[in-house]
Amino acid sequence: MINIADINSVTGVTADSRLVKPGYIFVAVKATLQDGHQYIERAITAGAIIIVHQDEVIKKNDIDYIKVKHSRLALSEIAAQLYPDQPKYILGVTGTSGKSSTVHFIREILSLLKHKAVSIGTLGMVGDLKMEPKLTTPAADELHPMLQNICHNNIDYAALECSSHGIEQDRVASVKFAACGFTNFSQEHLDYHNNMEEYFAAKKRLFNIMKSGYAVLNSDILEFNDLLSSCKNHKIICYGKNKVKEAKHNIIILSITKNDLIQKVKWKIDNELYESDLNLVGEFQVYNLSCAIGLLMAARIDIKDIMPLLPLLNTVTGRMELVDNYNGAGVFVDFAHKPDAILNILKTLRTTTKNNLWIVFGCGGDRDRDKRRVMGKIACDIADKVIITEDNPRTEEPSSIRKEILQGCNSRAIEVQGRKNAIEYVMEKLMPGDNLVIAGKGHEDYQIIGTEKIKFSDIEVVKAWLAKK
């Protein structure tokens, strides 16, 4: 644990030399693309009075230096000392998919109960305070000022998405979690983590960061027993289709009945039966909501107050969002950009599609290449019509990405260059009884081509096309 002797003389902390101001601590972080040690001189020139570093450096007489083993962890610890106040109930959510939906449901239910609350994640900070998104899980020197600001605005509840990057890079290492939940686990981010074992270990580490509190676990995933054994020091809440004897509370999903875009769900929660209509599409959303319910119970919200509000909930922007019913066909936009997420949305829509099920998607450039063929195969195994196009190609050649996806496809797939062209191509062909899901970007209002962000929205493309009809 790093302690700054005279913390009151410090005006701020950052790992970005461009943000240094007089009186700041500069933490030299060794990142994937850049090494902060190269910017120590710039930080000193800008007014840094303390340099925290993990490599050997040339020291100046009028500057304090602190050598540490892990700069990122030091950044988190220092930020927590400078901004010590945190909301009473910080609810962390990790897992491959469903984080955004889960924190959204938590915030919405709290809002309906007249509690001040925020969610922090892919969509930025949303709720009683707002901030534009940067990273899914903000860097520690940004996160702790946010948490203190939330606290000082008398907001007791913050639901925080915890990505594997955010956990691995110690962004949440000094957060005082009241409870943490785990949604699910599947292939993602293998461009960053060497393998699935390392990826899972990063996710699981969140429960080691939480010193005490509740662990809310999905009992229906293959990794459940591993997670359970890692949470022996925590009180356990489980959600899924079976009762877990080790759990203090069980949220048992008894049945899910689907009727077009409405689902009727029955739960047994601590020996009480509950039933609710949900304006949410897909079984996976029932699981996300059940995780949210568990985390709210951990935050001492009465289950009897939660359940009547469930029919009022709507999906988070860009998650199985119905944009329009055109020509008798449903047009959905979803953020799914990994194999398991593609599988879930297609399985969900398959059950309600009377004619052809269409999907338009691509894969991000400069990211996990191994999932491309897998996603192509899943799409062609379930959908009737598969359109392969661009996502965020970044610095990769778009045609090369499409080619790798197509290696997993069969004759159901065709390639259409240009995401806008692909969406409009399908819109022209939709027939009554069809369903279309445009996957991969969801809420995003940009496309990354090369190193440039270009304004682009799947939803706006669909609306603009419909306006011409």
Fold (topology level) of 321-467: Protein-Tyrosine Phosphatase; Chain A (3.90.190)
What pLDDT score was predicted for residue 188? 57
What pLDDT score was predicted for residue 3? 75
What pLDDT score was predicted for residue 394? 96
Q: What span, in angstroms and rounded, lies between the C-alpha atoms of 203 and 180? A: 11
What pLDDT score was predicted for residue 282? 84
What pLDDT score was predicted for residue 6? 76
Sequence ranges of the domains in the chain: 7-76, 83-312, 321-467
Q: Which residues of the chain have pLDDT under 70?
A: 5, 187-194, 260
Task: Encode pLDDT of 191-247 as tens digits.
Answer: 554 678 888 888 999 999 998 899 999 999 999 999 999 998 999 999 999 899 999
What pLDDT score was predicted for residue 196? 80
Q: How far is CA 207 from CA 147, 168, 175, 222, 352, in A?
A: 20, 12, 12, 18, 38
What pLDDT score was predicted for residue 259? 76
Task: Encode pLDDT of 305-315 as tens digits.
Answer: 999 999 999 98
Phi, psi of 145 (to 5 degrees): -60, -35
Report if pTM > 0.75.
yes
Phi, psi of 373 (to 5 degrees): -60, -40
Q: What span, in angstroms and rounded, lies between the C-alpha atoms of 371 and 344? A: 15
CATH superfamily for 7-76 is MurE/MurF, N-terminal domain (3.40.1390.10)
What pLDDT score was predicted for residue 190? 52
What pLDDT score was predicted for residue 351? 85
CATH superfamily for 83-312 is Mur-like, catalytic domain (3.40.1190.10)
